[in-house]
Amino acid sequence: MKHSIHHVDAKRVFAFIFAAVLVSIGLRPAGSQDAATGLSGADAAEAVEVNADASATTESDSDADEIEDPPYIPKTVAQLQKSLSPIQFKVTQNEETETAFRNKYWDNKKEGLYRCIVCGQALFTSETKFKSGTGWPSFYDPISKERIGMKVDFRLIYPRQEVHCSRCEAHLGHVFNDGPKDKTGKRYCLNSAALRFEEATEKSKSANDKKR
Ligand SMILES: [Zn+2]
């Protein structure tokens, strides 16, 4: 008799701990909707992970408010084929990767903004670009976490974190955890073909200098 009471108690304790763990890590049973975000359990878990990854971006978020983006006008595949070069189309729409060291911006040291080649949204700035030695333009942080999206990519044997434009979903590249340790530790390895560089004007350069 005594034994069975203990058994029930143990079960209750376990259920309580399990529920507490689920809540604490932001998980909910699959298929349930999160009232606050409208995300399913799986989506919410992914969102938590992505937010954790991009948590180091908060420092530059205030600057993001001052950047103007062109209005977003979604394009059809036919329109994209017309407006993009073959390599720009292959990279942004089919997630292909351009050749290292034989692309436009891997060694670009000019000050300015890197915008999405498809929709023009500003994604990265020269301030977080660093020399990675990979032959692709590399950054340790986007302008803000809202401007990019991520998903896990299994194209190679090992899973990689894919990065795309949050507005038009153009594929940009991948993010790895071997970036500068004194910064975010992230390396956003991007394709030049997915980007349009906009050099800083004298006006924006002096505004930046004043901020420092
Ligand atoms: Zn875009």
Whole-number pLDDT of residue 56:
44
User: How far lies 102's CA from each of 64, 87, 97, 195, in Å?
Assistant: 30, 12, 11, 14
pLDDT tens, 134-189?
Answer: 999 999 999 999 999 999 998 888 899 999 999 999 999 999 999 999 999 999 99
pTM as predicted: 0.69
On whether the CB atoms of residues 204 and 149 are closer than 8 A, the answer is no
How many whole angstroms from 25 Cα to the centroid of ligand 1? 31
Which of the residues 116, 165, 168, 189 is marked catalytic? 189
How many whole angstroms from 81 Cα to the centroid of ligand 1? 15
Q: How many CA atoms lie within 13 A of 52 on its CB side?
A: 8
pLDDT at 114 over 60: yes
Whole-number pLDDT of residue 155:
85
How many whole angstroms from 161 Cα to the centroid of ligand 1? 18
Q: Is 165 marked active-site?
A: no
Q: Which residue has the tokens 């976490």?
A: 145
Q: How confident is the model at residue 203 (pLDDT cuts 50, 70, 90)?
A: confident
How many whole angstroms from 5 Cα to the centroid of ligand 1? 60
pLDDT tens, 27-53?
Answer: 444 434 444 444 444 444 444 444 444
pLDDT tens, 51-99?
Answer: 444 444 444 455 566 899 999 999 999 999 999 999 999 999 999 999 9
On whether the CB atoms of residues 93 and 102 are closer than 8 A, the answer is no
How many whole angstroms from 4 Cα to the centroid of ligand 1? 61
Average pLDDT over residues 119-124: 98
Rounded to an integer, what distance in angstroms lies between the CA atom of residue 120 and that of residue 39?
28
Whole-number pLDDT of residue 143:
98
How many whole angstroms from 2 Cα to the centroid of ligand 1? 65
pLDDT at 21 over 90: no
Of 184 and 205, the structure prediction assigns the larger pLDDT to 184
The CATH architecture to which 77-211 belongs is Beta Complex (2.170)
Domain boundaries, the chain: 2-62, 77-211
Rounded to an integer, what distance in angstroms lies between the CA atom of residue 74 and that of residue 71?
10
Q: How confident is the model at residue 192 (pLDDT cuts 50, 70, 90)?
A: very high
How many whole angstroms from 21 Cα to the centroid of ligand 1? 37
